[in-house]
Every structure is written in structure tokens, then in C-alpha cells.
Chains A and B, each alone.
Chain A
């Protein structure tokens, strides 16, 4: 459900920065359905990947073989991403707030964390430089929080600043535009996450129980279109035949 909902959001997009796991399947599904001209960019240094198998990591050799270009990480981050060529970047995180700010660094205080998470990787630069950011993550009261333990990657420009320290210049028109969870699809109005559609069988109160704030609701909240037979066939027979990411 998360995969097909995310894949459909990619219709009409051209260049997409892919992560491993669910985003990877979503992007590959989109390339086979709603976005046939999609070019896959992997932070490891690949443009125009055509993976023959589900990549096991962000730098799987299958993303190189048959790609349009294998480039250095400097070129990838400086020219492709910071240079403004990436239409959509996918991010996830351990925590997100109503403005789409993300935490992938620590649970608890930075210097003395209860849980040390992986950190930014390329997330911080994707959040700042991609024209749009799509977030895919499961939601619950511990992940959809009122206030992040640490802000790794910035969300929408509407978010109030958390410190008064000097910061860099943010280019307008960038930041998260879509959040897909296991319960709903959100878009953003006035910089705030807004419920766009609920997945089949999910009630408004189910959603409220799985987030720490009262969300904004779109004027007309729809029901997310369930996966089609064709999408399910592609996922089960081609994109994740072993059910690594989609068995549940």
C-alpha cells in the first residue's frame, strides 16, 4: 500500500533520488507504470540506473551495470543534486514533525543518546537541494512527534526555527510535498502536513491515535486507491519476489 501510493505520486517526474528499501521499490514501480521516463539517481554515484535485481544496499553493483553514468560522489552531490537536477528525493526517518522536519540522528540528547541512529548520510543535502521531497515512513506516536529530539534534515520553509543561531540561505520552493505512511497520504498546506487521503479501512481516529498532534485535514479527504492487480503483479513477480520489503 505504501509502495503503490508513493509510486503514483511520481507521475510526470523525471529525475528521482532513490533510497534503499521501500523507496527503491516505489521508484522502480513508478518507472514501470506511471513514470516511464523516470531516471533513477543513487547517492553512491549512479545516474540513470537500470537495476536488474532489487538492490541489497545503496551501492549494489546492479545499479552500475547498464546505467547511463557512474560518477564520483562529488559529481553526484555537487552537480546533480546541489546543481538542481533532482526533481524528487525520498527520505524517511525515526521522527517527523508537522512541518516535515526529520530526525535520523539520535533518540534522546545528542551528546548522551538513548539510541544512536545512523545520522544524515545524504538526507540533509537531499532535503535542502531536491526540488521536492517525498517521505515514506510508518507512523505512530513515537515517530510522528510534536518536537524532534534532533533536527537532521529541514522540512518546509514555514517551520519555525528551533534556534536563533545563524543559518544558511534556503532556496525557495523546496522541501517535503508528500508523506506516505502505512495509514494515510499527506500533502502540505501553508507548510503543514495535511491529510489528503486515508488508506482503506483507516478511520480518522486511527490516524489521531498514531500521531502526537491534531493534523490538518484537506477539504475533501479521499480514500487511497488500493494497489491494482497489475501493480501487485509487478511488485510480487519482479521488484520484490522474495518479499524482503513487502511480505507484511
Chain B
């Protein structure tokens, strides 16, 4: 890669390796489906997938055989029901050699882990888990006495992904990345990572970034690759660009219940396309047009000019 701007194929080929811990973050918003699909196409193996909400993207990646372990806090199809491909590999009737390893926290526990990772701390304290059986299920969640009083809180260890991938509305070629709407824990997951791929709806001039520095979530300093991939978060959404394709989230339920249908879906929509551009073309203009929101521009602020 010369410069940071890369194709999805090159970015994944260079930066995601077998056995890596990969975090594709984005809480319901800006979920990196295009990146997940490229990881499947390139046949990565033995990945540990970290994400608060594995969502459809990890159900697809698990069913495609790229993962051996999940690190997570809420395992479901949001607003719809279950992630059936993951359930098939975690419940009692799963064949032992197909069993997915699980490492489970709460949402705040996962956010705290990324925060510790990003801040290079050995642990992060929080009040969650009191009188919960989660610490018994996951011995990495440990009680810790306050050094300043008689309170006991819980600690979670840092999470430092080998690769974090985030989707965003826009970035410059240098990788300065701006997000609006829900920002989830992408900043923490990005700073915690060894390598970072940013996928954007739009590549913009540096002047656009510098005109609104409060909106920069991630500095180019820590970005290894910038991939321009419009609609790359579909069927999740990008605030101001497109809505969640809720029909697809509903359609996924019967698809993921049936391994044969699921394999056919992967063959058609992941292996059967060369990349996101072809996927978008296949979705068709009518479906995409139905996902475009009306306008709700922000008010402008004046940063002032200081000589």
C-alpha cells in the first residue's frame, strides 16, 4: 500500500492475519459488514472476534468458519431475536469440535476493557457484577479492594485487539476520521488496537476535517488504512447517509436458522461478489433509495479565526 488509502481487499490482506483478535466495533450504528465479508472471502482462520454485540456480521463470520472464539456482551439479533449460527455452535447439542469458545462481559465491562487497552492500564474498575454470577462464569472479572477505602469493586483486563476495524461517515486521506450519531466505543477500540482500518462512506479534503475538529473521533496518527466503501455498513446504518435495512435483519432470522439457506446466502452475497461495490449493485437502486433519510442538518458553530 502506498499512502493509507487502500482497497478493502488490500487492507484486509495486509492487516488481518490468521489467529488475530479482531474487533469490528460500532454499536448498532456503522457496523463494518463490508470488512467482515472481505475477511470471509479471504478465508481467514482461527480469529478471536471481539464486539459488544456480535450482531449479524459475526453470525455470518462464525458460520463462514473464520472464528474460534467470541469476546462479547450481548449476543442477539437486535430488535429481532437470536443469532442462530452462533447458537448452533454454543449450545449443548453442538458437536465438541465445532464448539465456539466464549468470553463474556457486560456492555460496560467491554467498554471498560477497551478503555484500559487504549490507556495502557493493567485493568479498569467498575461497579457492575456485584451479586452477579458473571465473575464465576468468567474468572477474568475479579473483585478488587479500593486502596482508598473499604469498598470492593470489580476489575476487567485490558482488551488490545490485533486489529480494530471501524466504519465512519468520512475521513481524509491521512486517516483523520469524523463520526456523528452514535459513537459507541469506536474511539476506545481504535486506540486500543495494534492495527487500525477505517472504512468510510466518503473521502474528504483535510480542510473539511480541520473546519470541524470537534467531530474527529480518530486521528490519522493511529490509522493504518483508509478504505472508501459507500454503503459498507449495510444492512446496519450510517447516520445521515442511510437507515438500517430492518427488512434484512428480519430476513436473517429464517436464513440463519437453516444451515443450507445460510450457506446459499454466503455463496450468493459474500463469495458470489467481488466486493462491496458489486454487493451494492446487486441490492438494487430501489432497495437503497428506500433507506435514504430526509435531511436534518446540524446548526453551524463558529470556531473563530485567531491570528
Q: Which of A55, A65, A108, A154 contacts B130 (CB 8 A)?
A: A154
Within 112-165 of B, Cβ neighbours of A (below 8 Å) are at: 112, 115, 126-137, 143, 150-154
In the bound complex, do residue A125 and residue B127 qualify as a contact, i.e. CB atoms below 8 Å apart? yes
A residues near B263, Cβ cutoff 8 Å: none
Nearest CB on B from A124, distance (A):
4
Checking B87, B91, B130, B244 against A60 with a beta-carbon cut-off of 8 angstroms, the contacting residue is B244
A residues less than 8 Å from B58 (CB atoms): none
A121 touches B73 (CB 8 A): yes
CA–CA, A162 to B131, complex, Å?
8
Contact (Cβ within 8 A) A77 B111: yes
In the complex, whether A59 has a CB less than 8 A from a CB of chain B is yes
Shortest B307–chain A CB gap in Å is: 33
Q: Are B134 and A118 in contact (CB under 8 A)?
A: no
CB pair A168–B91 under 8 Å, yes or no, is no
Determine, out of B1-9, B180-188, B277-285, the stretch whose residues face the partner at the interface.
Answer: B180-188
The minimal Cβ–Cβ distance linking B108 to chain A, given in whole angstroms, is 4
CB under 8 Å from chain B, chain A span 6-56: 20-21, 43-46, 55-56
Is B271's CB within 8 Å of the partner chain A?
Answer: no
Q: Are B78 and A58 in contact (CB under 8 A)?
A: yes
B293 sits at the interface (CB 8 A): yes
Query: Which residues of B (84-122) have their CB < 8 Å from a CB of A?
Result: 86-87, 90-92, 104-109, 111-112, 115
Contact with B79, one of A58, A161, A168 (Cβ below 8 angstroms): A58
When distances are taken between beta carbons in the complex, the residues of chain A under 8 Å from B82 are 118
User: How far, in angstroms, from A46 to B181 measured CA to CA in the complex?
Assistant: 9
Q: A128-B130, A150-B133 in contact; A61/B91 too (CB < 8 A)?
A: no
Residues from chain A with Cβ under 8 Å of B237 in the complex? 61
- Closest Cβ neighbor of A157 among chain B residues: B131
Does the CB pair A162–B182 fall under 8 Å? Answer: no
The range of chain A's interface size is 35 or more
- Report the bound CA distance from A129 to B128 in whole Å: 8
Q: Can you name the residue of chain A whose Cβ is closest to the Cβ of B183? A: A72
A228 within 8 A of B: no
The reply to whether A152 and B133 contact each other, CB–CB distance below 8 Å, is yes
**In the bound complex, what is the Cα–Cα distance between A159 and B278 (angstroms)?**
56
Q: Which residues of B contact A122 (CB under 8 A)?
A: 74, 106-108
- Structural contact, B131 and A161, CB atoms closer than 8 A: yes
Select from chain A the residue with minimum beta-carbon distance to B138: A110
B216 at the interface (CB under 8 A from A): no
Interface of B is mostly: loop
B283-305 residues with Cβ-Cβ distance < 8 A to A are: 293, 296
In the complex, B194 has a CB within 8 A of chain A? no
Q: B244 contacts A56, CB within 8 Å?
A: yes
**Which residues of B lie under 8 Å from residue A114 when comparing CB positions?**
91-92
Task: Decide yes or no: A82 and B126 within 8 Å by CB, A57-B244, A112-B92 being known contacts.
Answer: yes
A125 touches B183 (CB 8 A): no
Residues of B within 8 A of A213 (CB): none
Residue of B nearest to A55 (CB): B79
A151 to B133, CA, bound (A): 5
Which residues does chain B contribute within 8 Å of A68, judged by CB atoms?
none
B84–chain A nearest beta-carbon distance, Å: 10
Who on chain A is nearest to B99 by CB? Answer: A112
CA–CA, A121 and B131, complex, Å:
16
Cβ-defined contact, A154 with B132, below 8 A: yes
What residues on A are CB-neighbors of B249 within 8 Å? 56-57
Given known contacts A57-B78, A167-B131, is B107 in contact with A43 (CB within 8 Å)? yes
Q: Is A113's CB within 8 Å of the partner chain B?
A: yes
Whole-angstrom distance from the CB of B149 to the nearest CB of chain A? 9
Tell whether, in the assembled complex, residue A124 and residue B143 are in contact, meaning their CB atoms are under 8 Å apart. Answer: no
Q: Is the CB of A118 within 8 A of B74?
A: yes
Complex interface: chain A residues within 8 A of B150 (CB): 169
Tell whether, in the assembled complex, residue B87 and residue A116 are in contact, meaning their CB atoms are under 8 Å apart. yes
A78 at the interface (CB under 8 A from B): yes
21 chain-A/chain-B pairs, Cβ below 8 angstroms = A20-B79, A45-B27, A55-B79, A56-B246, A57-B28, A57-B78, A59-B27, A70-B183, A73-B107, A78-B126, A110-B133, A115-B91, A116-B75, A119-B74, A119-B75, A122-B107, A122-B108, A152-B133, A165-B136, A167-B135, A171-B127
Beyond the given pairs A56-B249, A124-B129, 17 more chain A to chain B contacts, judged by CB atoms under 8 angstroms and listed by A's residue number, are A57-B78, A60-B244, A72-B188, A74-B115, A74-B185, A112-B92, A119-B73, A119-B74, A120-B134, A124-B128, A125-B107, A127-B132, A152-B132, A162-B133, A163-B133, A168-B151, A169-B150
Binding site for A on B (CB under 8 A): 27-29, 52-53, 72-76, 78-79, 82, 86-87, 90-92, 104-109, 111-112, 115, 126-137, 143, 150-154, 180-185, 187-188, 237, 239, 243-244, 246, 249, 293, 296
Name A's B-contacting residues (CB within 8 A): 20-21, 43-46, 55-61, 64-66, 70-74, 77-78, 81-82, 101, 105, 108, 110, 112-125, 127-129, 150-154, 159, 161-163, 165-171
6 nearest interchain CB pairs? A59-B28, A154-B131, A121-B74, A57-B78, A57-B79, A118-B76
